[in-house]
Amino acid sequence: MNRRKMLKGLALLSGLAILPLRVFAEMRAAFTAEAPEAALKELFGDKPIEQSDAIKLKIPDIAENGAVVPVSISTEIEGVESISIIIDQNPNPLSASFTIGEDVFADVSTRVKMGKSSQVRAMVETSDKIYTVGKEVKVTIGGCGG
Amino acid sequence: MGAKIKIRGKAKDGIAKMKALMPHPMETGTRRDPDGNVIPAHYIETVSCFKNDAEIMTAHWGPSVSKNPYFAFRVKNAVAGDRIKITWRDNTGDTSEGELTLK
């Protein structure tokens, strides 16, 4: 049993898990990771990651203002547990991770900051696999320094 | 208590499209003020969405979600009279919420 499974087990035992909730400490580690692959490892462990054209990632090709970049992610894939946004070139690539319960669609929109031009990846997690699609976004004015 | 969350949404054919705006600085902790002092990180870490008190969705955020975050999602099995509540908690422990009864 690895650390991830044990933390999840503890959360279940203490009755915290209404949704497939992530353990807080685990999320912190994912959000503070400084490389995209490290963030993915913290989020998903060793689950296989597969490219998918069944995910709709809506984000501008060119973001004039990196401080406010609208992102929408939706998919018809069955059994979605979470949707996450990874911005490869940001100092901390993981931007947001949404836990999808049974009473919501796998369809979320928000706005994110981008320090510079980067690939943006949507990660869709199911019980046994991660599906992903990416897009290059060109940033004219960065939004992380100020 | 942080500024109140503004929620909009309507139920139609069992689906509610929800939109929320959360006034919050979302400071990254890397910016400096004009005197060169680092402005401390101050951002929403967790957003929880409830339908009639049952949690239906949780969002975990880092400081790279934009200032005054916008968040939209769609609720299944939603009918008029359902209460949709959204709460957040930031890295300083501050909280806020907003609630709406679907029409």
Nearest to A104 among B63, B70, B73 (CB): B73
Residue numbers in A near B76 (CB within 8 A): 102-105
Q: Between 3.30.43.10, 2.20.140.10, 2.60.40.2470, 1.10.3720.10, what CATH number should domain A3-141 receive? A: 2.60.40.2470
Strands B70-75 and A104-112: what pairing?
Answer: antiparallel
The predicted structure's pLDDT at residue A141 = 77
Coil vs helix vs strand at A93: coil
Q: Looking at the 3D structure of chain B, how many domains does it have?
A: 1
Residue numbers in A near B31 (CB within 8 A): 145-146
Cα distance between residue A42 and residue A27, in whole Å: 8
Classify residue A78 by its DSSP letter.
S
Nearest to B58 among A21, A69, A110 (CB): A21
Cα distance between residue B50 and residue B58, in whole Å: 9
- A110: tokens are 């928000």
* pLDDT tens-digit series, residues A111-139: 999 999 999 999 999 999 999 999 999 99
- A8: tokens are 């999840």
Residue numbers in B near A108 (CB within 8 A): 59, 71-73
Interface residue B61 vs chain A (CB under 8 A) = yes
* pLDDT tens-digit series, residues A78-92: 999 999 999 999 999
For residue B1, tell me if it sits in a domain: no
> Residue B85 sits in a domain of what CATH number?
2.60.40.10
Residue A15: pLDDT band (50, 70, 90) is very low
Whether the Cβ atoms of residue A83 and residue A97 lie closer than 8 Å to each other: yes
* pLDDT tens-digit series, residues B44-88: 999 999 999 999 999 999 999 999 999 999 999 999 999 999 999
- The closest alpha carbon to B47, from B26, B31, B78, belongs to B26
Ranges of each domain in chain A: 3-141
Interface residue B93 vs chain A (CB under 8 A) = no
The predicted structure's pLDDT at residue A4 = 59
For residue B10, tell me if it sits in a domain: yes
Which residues are CB-contacts of B1 (< 8 A; sequence separation ≥ 6)? B94, B95, B96
Interface residue B71 vs chain A (CB under 8 A) = yes
In this complex, how many residue pairs, one in chain A and one in chain B, have their CB atoms less than 8 Å apart? Answer: 107
Nearest to A95 among B65, B67, B76 (CB): B65
Q: Which residues of A86-125 are buried (b: 16+ CB within 10 A; e: fewer)?
A: bbbbbebbbbbbbbbbebbbbbbbbbbbbbbbbebbbbbb
Cα distance between residue B10 and residue B35, in whole Å: 47
Residues in chain B: 103
Segment A42-68 mean pLDDT? 96
Report whether pLDDT(A62) > 50. yes
Helical ranges in B30-101 per DSSP H: none
Q: What residue numbers bound the domain in which B73 lies? A: 6-29+38-101
The predicted structure's pLDDT at residue A3 = 57
Whether the Cβ atoms of residue B64 and residue A125 lie closer than 8 Å to each other: no
For residue B59, tell me if it sits in a domain: yes
Whether the Cβ atoms of residue B97 and residue B85 lie closer than 8 Å to each other: yes
Residue A17: pLDDT band (50, 70, 90) is very low
B74·A105 Cβ contact <8 A: yes
Residue A26: pLDDT band (50, 70, 90) is confident
